[in-house]
A and B are shown apart, each in its own frame.
Chain A
Amino acid sequence: MEESDRSHFNEMLDNQGNPREPYCRLNAWLSEKPSNFLSRKSKEAETIFRRLGITFAVYGSDEATERLIPFDPIPRILSAREWKTISAGIDQRVRALNAFLRDIYHRQEIIKAGRIPADLVIQNEAFLPEMIGFTPPRKVYAHIIGTDLVRVSEDEFYVLEDNTRTPSGVSYMMENRETMMRMFPDLFQSYRVAPVEHYPDALRQTLESVAPDPAKSAQTVVILTPGIYNSAYFEHAFLADSMGVELVEGRDLFVDEGKVFMRTTREPQQVDVIYRRIDDAFLDPLTFQPDSMLGVPGLFDAYRAGNVTICNAPGTGIADDKAIYAYVPDIIEFYTGQKPILKNVPTWNCSKDDDLAYVLDNLADIVVKEVHGSGGYGMLIGPTASKREIAEFRKVLQANPGNYIAQPTLALSACPTHVASGVAPRHVDLRPFVLIGDRVRITPGGLTRVALKKGSLVVNSSQGGGTKDTWVLED
């Protein structure tokens, strides 16, 4: 074990180097294992993952286009009390974001009240004018959300991103749990861990609850995937399989007289709910990107006619836009009348002159991100960047400041992680998965991503991050 480092919050050890309550048994269990135990178990896990095909594709690399996300065998443990705060905060946040979406596509009260600049919403690339005046079933826009959280101290959790489009990673949450139960039954049994296995049922109930006609006895739900070459294809297949619904591609669907059907070996079958895992722009070549081969011509008209439900609704991306992000605390207060439970990271908007000036003066200490970027690409992490990288990024930023936001570097918490030298703290984040339909369902746990490199703060799998099973303890 490395000596305790006070620059960040260590989730397992307190400042005296003693294990915190939820980690006591894990710490004792780890200490009685032989030194090669974790290496052996990691290899075992890798074999299982590869055999089951739990892989993700890396774009732009020719060889080995399917890779495994490294799996760290040491669980991250959250107490029931910690989880209560997190889930209350997420519940509050996703309700507010859905209210915000309904508002901006209808009366736009929040703009009229002067709580958010009109341009930021109306001129936003993620704002879909086609959605104005349309109300989806149960007034839910974002049904499936993955809220990215980081922890900086005992009680402080910050929301980094809301991911209201098509968040992925839930299959890893479930497979990680399966793997842990298989590999460490004794450790697992010594804790009372809240289960995650009902997620597919909850997802299906959520999707059925927002069908155009919820009274219909049998709803046909499908998952729409771009196909086997998509980076998250495994997850699409996994979810379809565990919900017992068809996994379709655009070419399997067609629209006739305003209704959506799938091509089967027999007569066409009408589809009620589409959980789509393709972006807005590709949904319907007649309404959006005309050269899309992934979508279904006429789908959007069928949607607006109320004959099919698309989850998440088109146009929800605006709720997780990085420029809107700074206003989420206002959004929460405006629609719920409550103070936000989870913190927002202070954000400088580089399109504002004052903010830009500050960011340029402090590049070495802060994080700069592209407004529409994701996956950890095109960002600068000041404290770990070289002088040259900072100088180069300065030019890029000055050329197009409106494309960037900046945030202070947070001291991400660290969890014990298996590394070459044994067990050492590595920085983590957390993505719990939320479902919004007839009610809000939050699965206890989520996906913990871990930066495997010492000192690194980038947890994205495309940048060498790994994952951990996340245990939420029951009272």
Chain B
Amino acid sequence: MLGRTAASLFWMSRYHERAQNITKLLEVAYRSAMVSQQGENSIDDWRFTLMSSGCDWAYQAKHDEITPRSVISFMVFDKNNPSSIRTCLEMARNNARSVRTGITAELWEAINTTWIEFAEVTPQSITQDRLPDFLSWISQRSHLFRGALLNTVLRDDGYFFSQLGNFVERADNTARVLNTQYWVLLPDNDVVGDGSMQNQRWSGLLRALSGLRSYRFAYPNAELTAFNVAEFLILRKEMPRSLAHCYQWIDDVSDDLGQFYGSRQPSLDLASGLWRDLKEAEMRDVYQQGLDDFLNDFIVRNNAFAHQLSKDYNFA
């Protein structure tokens, strides 16, 4: 396989995952802004969206103030925002197109149709009341993409690279979302005020990572606490967007890749090191290190893995 092909499959999945993550963040902001009592809080919800996706600086360079309308247009449609849903879907498709020969017809049709239909939507037509439907359509399309990928692609090196791209992006997103509001997850935060504020933040985080419902099943008493929410999103490997889940998957796929090629590259050892640390960690240790330190450290190591992978397999 060409190095460039591996890179394109990695980035195709990465961009598609990113589009889905941005979609989730916008859904949560939209919902929180609707239920929040004061206007100021509602602006915070949109600000978190910008921060979690790393778009706050780029946004401020372009807009003077944060308004729902301009955040939506910036995060959904802006061609010059490298993390807008539009850019992500287009990049995902361009990467797929450049490896048209390496992916199945089902996968190509999923990704191509999404792009064609998205490109036909005018920003003006997505008024606030139409936003939820539109976002949920994007989510559906991205599940279709992932379904086509899992159900039709041959389990060879191309598949492995596409999985690695997917989970590197997901892990990065989860860590950033948590990092943006890490103080909400500090254990001594449990007792401030009547707790309704915290409850709303915690459920917002869980929603942003598609985990509110499954949290209720994972923790039998179903009560939201900082400790449990943090543990769920960081260390519980049965939660599909937790850091542990992402790295268990990355480690598995790394092993497969190593076996497929008959040799282990340095990047694969970075992956297994990170997985081992997550597997053995307990929330106590995480809080002891400092939650923000822990998350920052994770983001750096996750990046280092992706970087080493691209070197080991001649992505450029």
Residues in A lying within 8 Å of B, measured CB to CB: 50-53, 227-228, 233-234, 237-238, 240-241, 246-249, 251-252, 262-266
Contacts and interface: CB of A to CB of B under 8 A. Distances in A.
B261 A265 contact: yes
22 contacts: A51-B112, A51-B116, A52-B105, A52-B109, A53-B97, A53-B100, A53-B108, A227-B98, A228-B97, A240-B101, A241-B101, A246-B2, A246-B5, A247-B101, A249-B4, A252-B3, A252-B4, A263-B4, A265-B1, A265-B3, A265-B6, A265-B261
Contacts of A246: 2, 5, 101
Contact of A252 (B2, B105, B116, B157): B2
B3 A263 contact: yes
A249 B113 CA distance: 26
A158 B113 CA distance: 42
A11 B1 CA distance: 48
Interface string B83-119: 0000000000010011011000100110011001000
B314 interface: yes
B2 A264 contact: yes
B94 A263 contact: no
Contact of B314 (A238, A247, A265): A265
Interface of B: 1-6, 94, 97-98, 100-101, 105, 108-109, 112-113, 116, 157, 261, 313-314
Contacts of A247: 100-101
Contacts of B109: 51-52
Contacts, number: 56
B31 to A, nearest CB: 33
A233 B98 CA distance: 9
B2 A248 contact: yes
Contacts of B101: 237, 240-241, 246-247
A70 B112 CA distance: 19
Contacts of A234: 100
A375 B97 CA distance: 25
A230 B101 CA distance: 16
A53 B97 CA distance: 9
Contacts of B1: 264-265
Given A51-B109, A51-B112, A53-B108, A228 B98 contact: yes
A252 B4 CA distance: 7
A266 B2 contact: no
A266 B112 CA distance: 30
A7 to B, nearest CB: 42
A264 B314 contact: yes
Contacts of B5: 246, 265
B30 to A, nearest CB: 30
A251 B261 contact: no
A228 B4 contact: no
Contacts of B94: 228
Greatest chain A CB density within 10 A among B2, B109, B113, B157 is at: B2
A53 B98 contact: no
Contacts of A53: 97, 100, 108, 112
Nearest to B315: A265
Nearest to B119: A64
Given A50-B116, A252-B2, A265 B313 contact: yes
A264 B102 CA distance: 14
